[in-house]
A and B are shown apart, each in its own frame.
Chain A
């Protein structure tokens, strides 16, 4: 049995907030009600005028830091928040999304027991409705770097497998710093995608089937502008595309090679990595397989 302290590495969560008072309280509560013993929660409001600040003030004694002042938008707010953070594990959650109540326990346990995991996301993707009720759950594929380079994680892209859900993604500070330690404020909506591209330079994305968080579909959000997201993501990817094989015939041949000889995965493909917990035990374990 591991000492308790290591089971709960310090977790830094940032919420950028701007005039989403209708949803903000549920977001705050989804973070604070987990009662995670080593949490650092930072809320950066961009000078809301709709009552958001009163909501934040209600929870102020449980926040590590909060501020309400005009900023240069969501990415800037997130960067400001992370600049204040000290946790070993990091993530941000937008002011309309929500975590599952068990999320931090699972994340803490996985990161503390498996050094192979640098960033983690969920394969069970939840969608809340406007009222905050859970409306559906998708199951996504595991993720792979080469698939990412081919654009298979961009919504609307032909060949789409699944996208990486920002609200369910957590990473280590080492990875954040190695990747530059910032979000690109010049992008309008696909900044998460740009961050994933930099993360993939350093480590494979690991998945769990445990649901961790959900996206609230209320029809007003930026990322629902899928066409624009698609265009931005395509532009980001342009600098990375040469890193994998695109020709479908070549892909097929390499897939056969990998399948029959177990070779070629490391050179031409990438790792699909995941963690799972054995039945009846509390130990998580790390697994991977190659794919083209």
Chain B
């Protein structure tokens, strides 16, 4: 029995996988997307000319792919841009060739975007981490996401007040937001390209989150982001010119938090919206819950 979907056709989701010499993990990634049998999936794989058997793996799944190519490219971010240039879906995301989606992710994401036209981009507050063997070893719990928190570095490791990253594997967005934000990832950012994209997204829309885990990050020691300090340093550099978009001084933040708690005021001017979606079992639909924070 395939799980039933809302009556109208679910939105088209375009997933791009950039691949380069990660044959030992690539198949799990491809299967995690294709096994979901989402009825309106457009899956694109851009390989950078791997020589470790990756291409043979991709060829095995070629009939299920919208597009794939294997040729030398200008790196990870370039491959992602090449992939999105082929994409036509209303909902977009990329999945690196060592990470995985949860088996329910596409259904859930399709359902949320279909029910709630106001959701521009979506992530999970329960990001999963996998080990090299593919076992889920951790499920984090992020208290929430907000624009002002982002500008204060609370979604960037190593910064004071850190509450949790925006997990790239679990983040999906609408094409309209992607185009409004420039329609590309920054190829000059070898490590923190996702962080730079979130920055551009936050200028245009609040990040919405669901409790449901959507994807998993595989920690295996051979990946770029295992250079976590390098990632944090790059992201901090990207963030620096934008920090003045919110109040940074801890005393002021604290005072405004007190003001907001006691009077309910100040959040619109000094803070931002925390936007969450929750499933309602009675109506079988997703609903918005929002609150303000400093």
Contact = CB atoms under 8 A, between A and B. Distances in A.
Given A136-B212, A137-B212, 18 more contacts: A26-B1, A100-B136, A105-B133, A105-B134, A106-B136, A129-B284, A131-B5, A132-B3, A133-B104, A134-B102, A134-B104, A135-B281, A136-B279, A138-B211, A210-B128, A210-B135, A211-B139, A279-B219
Contacts of B241: none
A210 B139 CA distance: 6
A121 to B, nearest CB: 13
Interface of A: 22, 25-26, 100-102, 105-106, 109, 123-124, 129-139, 209-211, 217, 219, 276-277, 279-282, 284
A288 to B, nearest CB: 18
A211 B215 CA distance: 12
Contacts of B102: 134
Given A26-B1, A133-B104, A135-B279, A280 B220 contact: yes
Contact of A281 (B126, B131, B211, B281): B131
> In the complex, which range does the number of interface residues on chain B fall in?
20 to 34
Nearest to B124: A137
Contacts of B129: 279
Interface in B135-175: 135-139, 141
28 contacts: A22-B1, A26-B1, A26-B3, A101-B103, A109-B135, A123-B139, A129-B279, A130-B281, A131-B4, A131-B5, A132-B1, A134-B102, A134-B108, A135-B212, A135-B281, A137-B211, A137-B212, A138-B211, A139-B141, A209-B139, A210-B128, A210-B135, A210-B138, A277-B137, A279-B129, A280-B226, A282-B132, A284-B137
SS class of chain B's interface: helix, strand, loop or mixed?
loop
Among all A-B residue pairs, the 8 with the closest Cβ atoms: A277-B137, A135-B279, A132-B3, A134-B104, A210-B136, A124-B139, A209-B139, A131-B3
A269 to B, nearest CB: 25
Residue among A25, A138, A280 with most chain B CB within 10 A: A280
Contacts of B221: 280
B137 A131 contact: no
B281 A277 contact: no
Contacts of B5: 131
Contacts of B107: 133
A105 B131 CA distance: 12
B278 interface: yes
A105 B129 CA distance: 15
Given A102-B135, A277-B135, A133 B1 contact: no
A106 B212 contact: no
Given A139-B141, A210-B139, A280-B221, A134 B212 contact: yes
A44 B108 CA distance: 32
Chain B CB within 10 A, most for which of A26, A100, A138: A100
Contact of A276 (B128, B137, B212): B137
Contacts of B278: 136
B136 A102 contact: yes
Contacts of A211: 128, 136, 139, 213
A209 B135 contact: no
A209 B138 contact: yes
A138 B278 CA distance: 12
A216 to B, nearest CB: 11
Contacts of B139: 123-124, 137, 139, 209-211
Contacts of A284: 137
A276 to B, nearest CB: 7
Contacts of A276: 137-138
Interface in B89-141: 102-104, 107-108, 111, 126, 128-129, 131-139, 141
A210 B133 contact: no
A277 B134 CA distance: 12
Given A136-B211, A211-B213, A282 B131 contact: yes
Nearest to A23: B1
Among A100, A102, A279, max chain B CB count under 10 A is at A102
A207 to B, nearest CB: 11
A282 B219 contact: no
Contacts of B213: 124, 134, 137, 211
Contacts of A138: 211
Nearest to A214: B104
Contacts of A105: 133-135
A214 to B, nearest CB: 9
B130 to A, nearest CB: 8
A124 B131 contact: no
Nearest to B278: A136
Nearest to B129: A279
A131 B136 contact: no
Contacts of A279: 129, 219
A165 B4 CA distance: 26
Nearest to A100: B136
B104 A277 contact: no
Contacts of B108: 133-134
A217 B221 CA distance: 39
Given A139-B141, A210-B138, A131 B219 contact: no
Contacts of A210: 128, 135-139
A217 B108 CA distance: 16
